[in-house]
Structure formats: C-alpha cells, structure tokens
Amino acid sequence: MKVQLNSLRGWQLFGLIAALIVVMSAMAIALQPDLVEGLRSAIRATARSSFMLFLVAFTASAFAILVPTPFSKALVRERRFIGLAFAFSHFIHAVLIYAYGQLNTIFWPARTVIDNIPGTTGYVFILLMALTSFKGPARLLGPKAWKVLHLTGLWVIVAVFAFSNFKRIPMSAWYVLPFGIICAAVAIRLVGKLAIASRRSQVKQTSVRQAASAS
C-alpha cells in the first residue's frame, strides 16, 4: 500500500481503486450460481469497500497529526481522490441495489419511507461533496460554504454508517465490529482535532513569548 501511494497519485490512484471495485463486484456476481444472490454478494462487497474508503478519508488528517509518517502524509495528500473513490464505490453500490430491486420484486415494497431516509440523506451529501470536490463547483460555492458542506457531510455519513450497523446488531453479532470501528474512527478524529488545537496553542504561546522577549 505504501508503494502504491508513493507511485500512484491523483487520478491514477482513483482509477486503480475504481477498477478494483468493478472487478470485485463482477467477481462477487459471477461466483454465485443465482444472479439475485450474486447481486446481494456484490452489494455487501461494495458496502465494505465504501466503508473502508470512507474511514481512510475520515481519519487521514488525524493520523497525519498523531502518527506523522510519509504514509499518513500521503493519505492526506490523496484524501480528495480517496473520497472520490468512496463516492464511486457507493455509486456502484446504489446501481447494484437498484438491479437487485428489479429482480427481487418484494424488496422495495417491503421498505418504508422511514427506512430509506438515512440512506437517501447519505447519498445526497455524497453527491454534493463529490461535485464540490472539483474546482469549478467549489469556487462557486465559496470556501466557507464548502467547509460547512463537507464537514456536515462527513458527520452525516458517519451517522448513517453507525446507524446502519447498529440496527443490524440484533440480527448478527458480527455488526458489533463495524459499529465499534466507526466509534474508534470518531474518537481518533476528535483526538486529532484536540492535538491540532494544542499544537496551535503552543505555537501561539511561543510567538507571544518571543515577541515579549524581543521588546
């Protein structure tokens, strides 16, 4: 992974991740004798790839502060393209869900409007964040609104992932693991923010002392 991040940057990195997601989805479908079951397998696979890519983008800046290595700094450098890869993974996830719903005719009628609210909200923010990851839309939005949108979107998506896994724990204890990982990622990000604030405070105090001694 370290070699890949150092040798692949920007759209090359995005292209590699996107290609792997497509291949993974195709293999998940092909390995099942039944198409419906194959789509279900691909849906689960893309849910996991989206989850992992989002966690990387979500915690990248915190790890760069808490564990400052060339690899963690490379994650921050490529965070935009990792985020776009997450959006692509979740787009494939949505396409697979649609195809599954077309073949399994009881899928959509069994879902209520309330059931669809978290996922729909998450997708709206994913779309808006992906579009404003490009210079033109970002410039039109403005830096302050861009920051509010992306910060709000990150926490909305975190909440959607947390809720989606938490509500499934009664069905399978396996979902405790991704729910715990989300909680750990939130803790890491918050600790990273505290570390940044502490570092800024120390720099400010040093500057004040230097100014006082110079006078």
Note the pLDDT tens digit of each residue in 86-117.
999 999 999 999 999 999 888 888 888 888 89
Query: Can you give the pLDDT at residue 169?
Result: 93
Q: What is the mean pLDDT of residues 167-189?
A: 94
Q: What is the mean pLDDT of residues 33-54?
A: 95
Comparing CA positions, the residue from 96, 46, 105, 55 lying closest to residue 75 is 55
Give the start-to-end residue ranges of the domains of the chain: 2-207
Angle, CA of 79, 83 and 88, to the nearest 5°:
145
Comparing CA positions, the residue from 146, 150, 130, 21 lying closest to residue 84 is 130
Residue 26 has pLDDT above 70, yes or no: yes
3-state secondary structure of 84: helix
Q: State the Cα–Cα distance between residues 183 and 204, nearest whole angstrom.
A: 32
Q: What is the mean pLDDT of residues 170-176?
A: 92
What mean pLDDT is reported for the chain?
A: 89
- Location of structure tokens 């195709």: 26
Comparing CA positions, the residue from 15, 84, 30 lying closest to residue 53 is 84
Residue 69 has pLDDT above 80, yes or no: yes
Q: What's at 96, amino acid-wise? A: L
Q: What's at 121, amino acid-wise? A: T
Residue 6 has pLDDT above 80, yes or no: no
Name 85's Cβ contacts closer than 8 Å, sequence gap at least 6: 13, 14, 17, 18, 21, 53
